[in-house]
Each structure stands twice: as structure tokens, then as C-alpha cells.
Structure 1
Amino acid sequence: MYLEKGEDLFSGNPRNYLGMGKRKNNINQGIITTVETDNDNFWAYNNGITALVNNYHPNDETNEIIINGITIINGAQTTGAIGAAKTIENDFFIPARFIICNDPKIIEKIINNNNKQNEILPSDLRSNDKQQERLRRDFNKYPALFYSGGRRDDKVVRNKEVFDPYLVAQTLKAYHGDCVLAYNGKKILWDDDKEYNNVFIDQLTVEHIIYVYSLSRAIDEYKIRLKTKGETRTDSEEQQMMFLSKRGSKMLLIYAISETMENIVGSKINDSWQLRFKDCSDFDKLVKKWYDVIEVVLAFSGNLLPALEGGLKNKETAKKTVESVKAIIVAIQVTLKKQLKEFISMLKWK
């Protein structure tokens, strides 16, 4: 019917078939692949269609349902993708609901309610992953902190520091070497199997998440402090404010701090995934302890600026700018070890 009637088949639907031209429509390609290679199970994989019809009645002799008039109000992507399949080897089942209704107000409500489903986010599909289940369980050690692991519900979390799953993945990715993807690939980190598994590794601990996430929060608060100073900002603070106001600056700064951490603590760090605070019970305290480190690295923010021209887009440029800052930090690391003695004493990396 779709091949014959085209978009007229969706006259009562808020959307027509969206095709496969954009990445977000890869689900339509997935439907086509299922139709062509695994359609015996299509009925179990797909939500099917909902259609308004004028009338229908069963024909017992032919074991068919005869339908008069039809508009598909939910299932345009399913219908269009099936119509776009190149080869269909055999007949297969599609879940379907046929609704008869002559009340215009009820019809409007049927159409609206059938097209108001919550968007399926990449994190939804990972929420039952073994790593997310483990991290949710391990976060219970810290009653003042909350991590959903991508699982959405309607519970209101009160009096807790809520760790946003997407920001957790972004900060971890930036800290461990790729600030460009961390900034530009928020959903990719959850959607792509390889990237997801590179972030949520078996060795990832709740304590390391707290360590990196507290740095992210500290950068946010440091920026707010500079902003509130207004006209009283010094020239160096003006330069820091200019840097932090640029797109991608936070992820670049997290990466820069990560790359200079050995020089800051004055010791070899064999496994950066082991970095954590000895005591994670007071999150606000940890955030404030990052201020001194942020101030040190931001003193050389001018060296990092080239990586932010037009937004944080080039991984090689980011790496070069961070290396230039690292070279300066190396030259003053003896002084830094004394200056940041209290912060260093709070860390554990072995």
C-alpha cells in the first residue's frame, strides 16, 4: 500500500517517513536490515503500526480481515522502511492495531497520544548493562551522591549530588585523552559500542568517577567565581575568563590537567584510571580542593587558546597546545609540589 499510495497513507500522522539521510534515522536502516535478513522475528523486534480505519470485518472463509479506509497514525517509519527494503524473501508478521472511531475530538486525542512517546536515548539502552548496574550499586557507598547509570524514572532525588550520566562519560573521555570527542560526541559515547566500552571499562571505579566529576564541577564553580568578580577581575583573571567562555574550554582544561598530573604530584602514575581521593565522603570539599590546580593550569590558558578557535574540533591541535602547557609545568614542578602539597596528600594512585 505504501508503494502505491506513498505519503497519502500517513495523512493522519504528524510525521511522514523520514528516510535514512541522517544519522538519527539509522533506526530506519535497522528496520530494513531486519526485513531483509531476519524478518521471522520482526514481530518481536518492532512495535508495529497503529491505524485508523473506517471499518473492518473478519472473513472466516479466507481467514482474513477486510479493512475499509486506512491512515497509519503511528508507524510511518516502520512502513516506509519496509517499503524501502530491496529484497523480501518471505512473508512475515507485523504487530498492528486497527481502530474505528467517528468522533473527531477522540480521533485527535488518539493521534496525539500515539505520537508522544518519550524519545529513546542511547543511555536508556545501556541502563541494564553490567557496568551500569555495578556502578549504581557501588555508588550506594556514598549516600550523599546519586548516579542513575542511564536509567530514567520519575523519582525526585533530593538532598543529593546528582551525577549526570552523559557528563560522567564526557569527563572521563576528556580526562583519558580525547577532549574533542568528549565535547562533540556526547551521545556517541553511549551509542557507539567501541567508545562506550573504552569509557566504562571493568577497572572504572566509583571513586575515579568522583575524582574526575569533582574536577568538572570545580571548573564550573571557578568560572562562576570569575564571572561574579566583574570589573574587579585582574588582567590574568580576564584572560582566564575569556578562555573559560569559549566552547569546549572545560573539556580541554580537564585534558590539560590530566596530562600534567604526574608533574603536579611529582610522581609516576602507572595507571591514571586508579587516581582517586582517599576520602570521597565530602564531595563539596573535593570540588574546592581542585581550585588551586585549576588556577595553576589556567595561568597558561593563552597557550591553550589555539585549540578552541572555531570550537574544540581538532584532536592534534588540542594535543599540541596541551604539550606546550605541560612543558611549562615541568619547569616549575618542584615549586608546584610544595604549593599543592595539601591537594596531593588527598590523592591515591597506586
Structure 2
Amino acid sequence: MHDEGYPVAVQQLRGALSREFAGLIDMTDFPSAAPDLSRERAFLSRALAAKAVSLLTDRDPDEAAAAVIDGADDMGIDAVAFSIATPELWLIQAKWSDRGTAGISADDAHRLIHGLHLLTNLRYEDFNARFQHLAARVDDVLASPDCRIHLVLAVTGDGRLAPAAETVLTRSVAEFNDFGELVDFRSLALADFHAAVRQDVAPKRFSVTATMADGWVAMHQPYETYMGAIAADELAGWYEQHGERLYEGNVRRYLGMTRVNQELVGSLISDPDHFWYFNNGVTVLCDDVRPHYFARRTVGQPVRLELTNAQIVNGAQTAASAYHAFRQAPDATAQARVMLRVMCVKDAPDGLARSIAKASNTQNHVEPRDFVALAPEQALIREDFAHNLGKSYVYKRGELDPSPATGCSIVEAAIALACAHRDAGLVARVRADHDHLWRSGPDGAYSKLFGRRPTALQIWRSVQLTRAIGQALEDTSGTLSGRDRALIGPGSLLLNHIAFRLVGDDDIDEPGDAWQSRANAVAGRIGTIVPLLTRLLGDLYGERALLARVFSDETRCRQIAAAALDSLAAEGLPTLPVLTSPDHRLRPSRRRLSSVRLLVDHQRIEDGARLVFRTTTRPEEQALGDWLGEDPRRYLATWINDAAAPLIWAVDGARYSPSGLVMRIWQEAAWAEAPVAVQGPRCWVLPGEGTLVEIAEELMADGAAGSGDDVHGS
């Protein structure tokens, strides 16, 4: 091709792309007999998309070329790129023009938006074979509630959008962003690409200074090393001046405002004096260290270290978080101190710097779950599992999880109990941040799930139901397509929550067959709920709502769950005929009589007897005491010899099971921290004789229940 008459920038860019991506771009869909001009322009367009990937995500040429999916069935997307460390996705559409006049039309914009819509609905099968190699990574990004999607228009033109194309993109992006910032768009123009190929991309050497007050130490063998504290605002200044260049030697770049980094920023601002105690500090490798003393030239005296060619190999998140904290609260950040370790490795053997970087980032760290293992109730739950169920319960990280038939882990237990909780917002928080399961206090899930210690039977049944639901959803996914199938992954916790609400938890702690029969019935029909949720999502939030975002939002999960349960109640799903589970492990191995069943069968308490409610824990007393005292009828219930609902509440005259009435009292009293379930018979007292459990135990001791059965006290 003759270049005369074409812009110099285009000519230089063509040469750079040809050198950089020759042999890397897949051109196998162009037969050897294809016209040279057609083949070259297709190569240049694809190479332009690859160059955009390289500029946006700092990828090597071979990685950038592998991101190109241009060709038949690319659905308007020429390349798909990923962030190195954050849940971000770049969808690139590239247009090449030899004359430097390429642009994006309204039809091009529509095709790009259509491709975006297919991706967010997990319609991967509509894309070509090149995309399929990237599908798993796309899936990982879209599954994150923190997902961000960037639409990039890479053109050899001035980058200005035609009004019709800009209208299409602006309107569509606004629709996708109804639930918060999800999608944006930008252009990369000829000027951007030309500037990139002209500049020297080799890392520039630079220096930073670190000011250490008294107390620092130094070692000079085998490598010059300094350890001490610097002010957090000085560290922030490094990031402000040099940004990501600080991390060339780090195994991770800055991960963005993750939950952990938000906590780092919050700690720097709200409690700078204690930041030193809660942070592991920063490790820097450099080529040279020049100390400049303020007074005496003695180790431990105030000094400013000039670090040449400094690279942070551990502490990238701390440095960037210090910068963000400094922008919000400079005075507070200046008070905080950060541990700094500096090593001069210019004369070190080859590979030592990389080994130090790797070791600094791969040492074992303490997770929130590890602190939960110290809670006394976890050991008691393990004992309950062993003594009452003959099964294992593992709660320490590092221990081998038991096989599904022989027990469960604390992770399975916590997820199951979270799904069983009556607030659908809890599963949304867990979906957004798995560590929420282990947080205590008013805002944490751990107190709600384990604060009033659940029994082994309650946990085991809850785990068994989540397993059954998981298997049913996996079986169902093969029969679904489109948005129905896409919903199962991000919506699994909410689907489990809905299943638990349908089954109910009044008698989950009682070993009769009733609860398990209902659980089997709901698990057998859970697949029919998936299309219902898809329809409700469309009605409530539209078809472009990203599923990962919706199912991580507390308010929306509550709305969806309420709408689904209302619809299912109208369809009669909770009263479906009992189905028999093929899994014998879901069935109790031995029938035991519940307290209520035993009392009713033997007419131990007369119809019309008055029972009194009592609180059993201090938190419950603190939460309910005033509310109960406002109306004495709230304490009272009348006994009726009906095993299903033996209590008539004095407040409303309705009939309840003992556990069901306790849960109703908690609800009416608006106890926000109420446990997932309760051993109701332990909370109702027959004056002068004891609780329902105590009376049943006396009856059992007298042999009235027969020698073949034993009584369950809840």
C-alpha cells in the first residue's frame, strides 16, 4: 500500500502496530486467497483493539492480542480486556482508517450495546469461539457486586462521536446505571495511540524520601537495610507523585476501594494514633540509599533517607489508601505512622528482588473467620454435633472438612443459617462480602447467627436443605437458558432464603418428620421459582439490571423475596403434597417424640391451662422487657391439646406452636438482633410445674412415653 497522502500519525501507527503484533493477531478466518488490502485492514483494526487493551490494562503484546475477539459473531465487541486485580471489564470496539477519519456510527453503538446486554445476561453461547476462551474470566467479573464495565471506542480519527451514536450510548449507559455506577464509555483517538507509540515505555528511574524519627534501626550485612516508622502523609506523597509506578515490582497493583482498603482509609482518618498497631507496613526495594541526618550521624537519630529507584513490593494497598485518606483528612493522616522496611538490592544476586516480593505477599495472614474459632459457643456446637448427631463439626481454618455424610464446616453452617434468617437483607450483605458472616456487633451477621447458640439439629437440617437446594439448582440450570440460567449463580443465596421461608422454622429443632417432609417438598420444586424471580426482576428493575448488583443490595433483596413469597403463597407452593427424598441422609435415623407431641399424646396439660412466656437470655430480656410490660397479655397463652398449634395467644386469639409464638413476639417487639430460630417449649411455663420441656422430661422419666422413644427438649 502506498502511504502518500495519508497522515504521518497514521503511517507511524501502522508501522508500530505491525511490529508489535505481527504473528500475534489471529487471522485464520482470512483465507490465504483473500485480497491483501482486506486482510491488512482487518489486521490493523484488530491490532488497534489489542493496542487499546495494552494501554488500558498494561498488558504485554501477546496478552493483548489474545483479548481480541473480532470476527463473525463478535456481537459488536472487538476485544475483551480485564483488570489485573480489580473486577473491571473493558469492551473495546475498534475502527481503522488509513486517512485518519475513522469514527463510530449509531449502528456501531447499537451493536456494542447489544453485545453488552448479551454479556450481562450471560448469553455467552451467542459469541464466537475466540470469546469462549475468555468466558470464564468474564463470568468472574460479572459475578462481583463491585463490577465495573468500560465501553471503549478505539478509532484512528479525532475521537468525537457522531450525535446519534453519543445519544445511543448515553441513554443506554444511564439505563444500566440505575443501580449505581456500573457502565461508562470513552474514546481513544488517533492522537492517543500516536502518543503511545512515540513515548519510551521503559520504566523511569525516580527517587523518594523517607523521614524516620528516633528509634529506627539499620543492618548493613548482607544487604543494607533500614527499618523504622514514617508519617502516613509522606507515604501518601509518594503515591501522589508517582502513582502506579511505585508498584512495578509488586505482585499486585492497587486493588481499588475494596472493603479492606475502605477500612484502611477509615482507620487512618478516625484513629490515626493506633494505625501503627493494626497495619503490617510497607516493604521497599531500591538501588541506593543515601541517609541525610538532621543532627548527630548516629543510628536511631532523626534521618531522611533518599531511596533511588524505589519499588514497593509489599504494602501497595497501604500506600494508596494513605493517599486517599490524606485527600480527605490531611491533618489526621499526618498523625499516623507506618512501619517501613527498606532494602538496597542493587548488588544482590539475580532473582533475589523477585523472591523478596513474592515472599512478602504470600505469607499466611489472619482472616476474620480465624477470630470466630476462639468463640466458646463453637466448641459447644462441635460437642452437640458429636453427642446428639454422631457427626463432625469443623470450625478452625486448616482443619480438613468432613465428608458431606459425616458432618459440615462452620462455613457451610454460617451460610445456611444466614439463608434461614428471616431478613433477606442478610443474604445480600453476605453476597456482597463473605467476611460479613464473621463480624460481631450490631451490624455483623455472626451475632445474629450464633449469638443465641443454635442446636446441632437446627444447623444440620439447615445445611442439608442448602445442599439439597444447591443440587436442585445445578440440575435445573441445564434446562434453562438466557436470564433464567444467569440468575442461578448470583441469586442462589436468595433462592435458598425463599426456600427456608416456604419451609418455615417452627419445628426445625424438633426431630419429627414434619419439617423434613416440607423441606423435601420445597427442594423438589425450587427450580420452578427461578423463572418467577426472573419475571419479578424484570417487573421491578428492568431487564438491564446487573444480577450481581441486584442480589447484593439489601433493599432490593427484601423486595424481591417479599414479592416472590406473595406470589408463591397465591399459587399454593407451601402446601404442595409431600415429596419423598431419595437421599436417606435427609431423614432422621430414629424417630424421637417432641416435647409438645408427648404432652398432647398423654393429655398431660388440661385444655384451657394458662401458660406464661419467659425470656431465657439477658439480651432477650433487654430487648423485650419494656415491650412485654406495656401489656400483660403479651406474656400469656392458653393451652389446647393440638400438637401442631397448642397455644392461643391472649393478644390476638390466634393459635401458634410454642416456637412460632416466640418468633411472633420477637417480631412484634421489633427485636432486630433476634436469632434465626428458638427452642420454643423452653420459653413457656406452666405455673407451679415448669417449662413444657421440663414437664415432658418428667413424663418421660415416669415411662409414659414408652421404652422405644426419647423426648427432644425443644
Please indicate the TM-score interval, normalised by the length of the shorter structure: 0.5 to 0.7
TM-score (norm 2): 0.36
For the pair shown, the structure with the greater C-alpha radius of gyration is: 2
AA aligned to 2:338 is: I
Report the count of equivalent residues.
306
Indicate whether 1:320 and 2:566 are aligned. yes
Residues 299, 9 of structure 1: alpha-carbon distance in 2 compared, 3 angstrom cutoff: closer
Q: Give the Cα separation in 1 of the matches to 2:593 and 2:417.
A: 17
Higher mean C-alpha displacement, 121-130 vs 197-206? 121-130
Q: Deviations over 1:135-169 (max 9, x none)?
A: 345444368533333x312x445667342433322
Alpha-carbon contact 1:173-1:199 (below 8 Å) kept: yes
Indicate whether 1:141 and 2:360 are aligned. no
Alpha-carbon contact 1:179-1:252 (below 8 Å) kept: no
SS at match of 2:286: strand
AA aligned to 1:277 is: P
Structure 2 portions without partners, runs of 5+? 1-236, 538-546, 552-556, 581-586, 595-678, 680-713
SS at match of 1:13: coil
Q: Deviations over 1:223-257 (max 9, x none)?
A: 78x79xx9xxxxxxx99xxx999724686366446
Q: Which residue of 2 aligns with 1:277?
A: 511
Q: Which residue of 1 aligns with 2:342?
A: 98
Q: Which residue of 2 aligns with 1:116?
A: 362
Q: Give the Cα separation in 2 of the matches to 1:292 and 1:304.
A: 19
- 5 Å-filtered alignment, 1:186-197, equals 186=431, 187=434, 189-190=436-437, 193-197=443-447
**What fraction of aligned residue pairs are identical, expressed as a percent?**
21
Indicate whether 1:16 and 2:253 are aligned. yes
Alpha-carbon contact 1:303-1:324 (below 8 Å) kept: no
Over aligned residue pairs, what C-alpha RMSD do you find? 4.4
Q: Give the Cα separation in 2 of the matches to 1:83 and 1:327.
A: 54
SS at match of 1:68: strand
- Cα offset for 1:52? 0.7
Q: Which residue of 1 aligns with 2:318?
A: 78
TM-score (norm 1): 0.67
Q: Give the Cα separation in 1 of the matches to 2:248 and 2:526.
A: 60
Indicate whether 1:172 and 2:417 are aligned. yes
Q: Give the Cα separation in 1 of the matches to 2:522 and 2:243.
A: 63
- 5 Å-filtered alignment, 1:216-227, equals 216-219=466-469
- 5 Å-filtered alignment, 1:1-350, equals 1-2=237-238, 3-20=240-257, 25-56=258-289, 59=293, 60-61=296-297, 63-65=301-303, 66-69=305-308, 70-84=310-324, 85=326, 86-89=329-332, 90-101=334-345, 102-117=348-363, 121-141=367-387, 145-149=391-395, 151-153=396-398, 155-157=399-401, 161-178=406-423, 181-182=426-427, 185-186=430-431, 187=434, 189-190=436-437, 193-219=443-469, 247=488, 248=491, 252=495, 255-256=498-499, 258-261=501-504, 269=506, 275-277=509-511, 290=516, 293-295=519-521, 298=524, 302=528, 305-309=531-535, 314-324=560-570, 326=572, 329=575, 346=592, 348=594, 350=714
Higher relative contact order (Cα pairs below 8 Å, separated by 6+ residues): 1
Residues 109, 300 of structure 1: alpha-carbon distance in 2 compared, 3 angstrom cutoff: closer
AA aligned to 1:105 is: G
- Cα offset for 1:44? 0.9
Residues 31, 319 of structure 1: alpha-carbon distance in 2 compared, 3 angstrom cutoff: same
Alpha-carbon contact 1:53-1:67 (below 8 Å) kept: no
- Cα offset for 1:184? 7.5
Q: Give the Cα separation in 1 of the matches to 2:379 and 2:574.
A: 42
Q: Give the Cα separation in 2 of the matches to 1:38 and 1:180.
A: 30
- Cα offset for 1:218? 4.1
Alpha-carbon contact 1:170-1:189 (below 8 Å) kept: no
Q: Give the Cα separation in 2 of the matches to 1:170 and 1:92.
A: 37
Alpha-carbon contact 1:135-1:206 (below 8 Å) kept: yes
- Cα offset for 1:105? 1.0
Q: Deviations over 1:233-284 (max 9, x none)?
A: xxxxx99xxx99972468636644654458xxxxxx4xx5x62437xxxxxx
